[in-house]
């Protein structure tokens, strides 16, 4: 029995093989060929993406470092340290009770 796979391709099978088995073999071969073509296409796409990523990585690596973030963090550190000193002074200062706008003593004021 000769199994025609298309595109002029043929596969010789034993003559005693049932037609249904030959048909299933043909479908299986064609499905696997299609999956192989899809896998090759995916592999080409992934290779292209990896090449683009390598190019971007090399570009980023070659660029001068961005120091604006580091300087912003250093400025923030100085500001936070100054504010913490002010908070410590406010917390540790002596206080006296003062009346609110209704004349009730519900709040306090720092005594200097």
- Burial classification of residue 27, based on how many CB atoms lie within 10 Å of its CB (0-12 exposed, 13-18 middle, 19 or more buried): exposed
109 and 100 Cβ atoms separated by less than 8 Å: no
Tell me how far apart the alpha carbons of residues 94 and 111 are, in angstroms, rounded to a whole number: 5
Structure tokens at 111: 């005594």
Name every residue whose Cβ is closer than 8 Å to that of residue 29 and which is 6 or more positions away in sequence.
5, 11
pTM over 0.85: no
Reported as a single tens digit per residue, the pLDDT across 39-97 is 999 999 999 999 999 999 998 888 887 788 889 999 999 999 999 999 988 888 887 88
Domain borders along the chain are 1-63, 66-112
pLDDT band at 112 (very low <50, low <70, confident <90, very high): low
Question: What is residue 74's three-state secondary structure?
Answer: helix
């Amino acid at each position: 029995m000769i199994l025609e796979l298309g595109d002029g391709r043929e596969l010789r099978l034993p003559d005693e093989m049932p037609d249904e088995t030959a048909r299933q073999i043909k479908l299986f071969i064609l499905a696997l060929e299609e999956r192989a073509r899809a896998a090759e296409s995916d592999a080409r796409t992934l290779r292209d993406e990896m090449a683009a990523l390598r190019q971007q990585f090399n570009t980023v690596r070659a660029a001068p470092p961005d120091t604006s973030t580091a300087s912003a963090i250093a400025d923030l550190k100085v500001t936070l340290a100054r504010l913490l000193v002010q908070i410590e002074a406010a917390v540790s200062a002596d206080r006296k009770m003062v009346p609110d706008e209704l004349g009730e003593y519900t709040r306090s004021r720092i005594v200097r």
